[in-house]
């Protein structure tokens, strides 16, 4: 082809080329959605027993990265710990959001349930509850009884589903919502 000439494609080839172009565009865009910065998904392996029976130790789950997390009670979140969470400030933890900023949480009502703003929570996911009272431990919170705690704005109060074996906000305090990296999707 010389300068000034245009490329001529036979009409019979156009549908095939358009299909090829569509495949290339879709395949290329498919990888774009997996970026953590854009809310893509990642795999995470649960390291301990604190979220059993919902998430077992060693289980691989899918999490969706979040930026500017808007706290919602019941979310299972992956967050960046601090030295209050067992001494390793680089560790990531998986816990359930039980209360959000502005709410008051305590345990226990006369039936032994956690309450938020005075209302007992229905927590069918808790299979191994902690005893009402027990001495503190550096490896787990132990006692079920705590509070009342008014959760500061911009933070979340998180607890493991396996309350008898969880180090969580009962002893480490609320987690800044800015420390939440992702939400469990499956």
Residue from 19, 82, 83, 95 carrying the catalytic annotation: 95
CA dist., res. 20 & res. 26, Å (int): 10
Residue from 6, 12, 19, 50 carrying the catalytic annotation: 50
- Is 70 one of the annotated active-site residues of the chain? no
Contact in structure between 36 and 42 (CB atoms under 8 Å): yes
159 contact partners, CB below 8 Å, separation of at least 6: 95, 96, 98, 114, 166, 168, 169, 170
166 contact partners, CB below 8 Å, separation of at least 6: 50, 51, 95, 130, 140, 141, 159, 160
Q: Kindly list the catalytic residues.
A: 50, 95
């Amino acid at each position: 082809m010389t300068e000034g000439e245009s490329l001529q494609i036979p009409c019979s080839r156009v549908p095939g080329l358009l299909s090829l172009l569509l495949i290339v565009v879709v395949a290329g865009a498919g990888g774009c959605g997996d970026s953590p910065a854009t809310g893509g998904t990642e795999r995470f392996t649960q390291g301990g027993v604190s979220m059993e029976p919902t998430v077992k130790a060693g289980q691989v789950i899918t999490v969706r990265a979040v930026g500017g997390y808007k706290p919602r009670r019941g979310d299972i979140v992956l967050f960046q710990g601090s030295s209050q969470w067992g001494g390793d400030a680089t560790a990531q933890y998986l816990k359930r959001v039980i209360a959000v900023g502005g709410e008051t949480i305590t345990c226990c009502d006369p039936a032994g349930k956690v309450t938020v703003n005075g209302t007992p929570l229905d927590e069918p996911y808790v299979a191994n509850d902690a005893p009402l009272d027990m001495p503190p431990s550096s490896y787990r919170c132990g006692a079920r009884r705590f509070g009342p705690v008014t959760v500061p704005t911009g933070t979340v109060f998180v607890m493991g589903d396996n309350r008898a074996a969880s180090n969580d906000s009962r002893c480490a305090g609320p987690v800044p919502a800015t420390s939440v990296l992702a939400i469990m999707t499956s």
